[in-house]
Amino acid sequence: MNRYRFIHAERATYPITILCRVLRVARAASYAWARCGVSARAQADAVLTAAIAAASMRSRRTYGAPRIHAELRAQGRLCARKRVARLMRAAGLVGCHRRRRVRTTVADATQAPAPHIVARDCTAPAPHRLWLGDITDVATREGWLYLAVLLDAHSRRVVGWAMADHLRTALALDALAMALRARRPPPGLVHHTDRGCQYTAASDRAALAARGSTSSMSRAGECRDNAMAESFFATLKAELIDARRWATRATARLGSSRGWRSGTTANVATPPSTIAAPSPMRTNCCCCKISPPSATVSASAG
């Protein structure tokens, strides 16, 4: 604490002369500080701290200094990232932390994987040119729940998803069917995934071929070949799934899907390399020529 501020706070309990002697402060300097009042910098810090706290609440206390800083810049507030970090420390605000996990993909030795067309270039000039898919698990007290998603590489938005208590090919097919039904991509779409048996199955490839889409698969043991999908799951788990313990598969299904459908977690969260980019929901609205949703949609919105 500032010595002058401490003297001003304790002046009713102890004589100012004693306080100044103990803290080695000139009494005249203490009186001068009291006349000046709160500095302009301290007042600006108080206003900025309130904005930081509001942004932290909107993210359900998941955002750290980099993304809080990006959100403030998007609001037109000019401030340094280190200043945001300093004020967050002073206010006791911290973002969530990701857990280290080990993931394995079960390949089907009888099915040849598709070629690696994407070559780690997870960018697309327009929507529905490149979709990225992956599967992860959610722990519940009833047992495992498995989640399959498809992301559009242009908007980074979830275009299809499915949940089930099994890892059969039907899980990936359900996510693909949702995306194809809702988005109706033109021929030429590239569907990129890992080499899991759900994606190398003949039924999955047939569904893609029927729409004129091409399958692409990562190399064995190279998670960076599907970095955008991996980043999505890391954000989703850190900010939503691992934030609580799910009693049943039904509650996990409802809570997880609300996270990206309401735009409060992974559908607005971005990997570090694209923090300054528009959010997935805003990018989708710009491409579709519709008004963006309010940034204050609650996490419980359906």
Is residue 265's pLDDT more than 90? no
pLDDT band at 131 (very low <50, low <70, confident <90, very high): very high
Average pLDDT over residues 200-215: 91
Q: What stretch of H or E contains 71?
A: helix 65-74
pLDDT greater at residue 96 or residue 235 = 235
Say if residue 282's pLDDT is above 80: no
Computed over every residue of the chain, the mean pLDDT equals 81
Please tell me which residue, 199 or 240, carries the higher pLDDT value: 199
C-alpha distance from residue 220 to each of 74, 106, 112, 194, 262 (Å): 39, 11, 12, 8, 34
Lowest mean pLDDT among 15-19, 120-124, 183-187: 120-124
Structure tokens at 158: 């979830």
3-state secondary structure of 210: helix
| pLDDT for res 88 | 93
- Give the separation between CA 42 and CA 47, rounded to whole angstroms: 9
Residue whose tokens read 């206390």 = 61
pTM: 0.59
User: Between 286 and 115, where is the model more confident?
Assistant: 115
pLDDT of residue 178: 94
The token pair that represents 109 in the structure block: 């030795």
Task: Find out whether 146 and 207 touch, Cβ atoms under 8 Å.
Answer: no
According to DSSP, the residues that pair with 192 across neighbouring strands are 132, 216
- What mean pLDDT is predicted for residues 124-131? 92
Mean pLDDT of 216-239: 84
The predicted structure's pLDDT at residue 41: 86
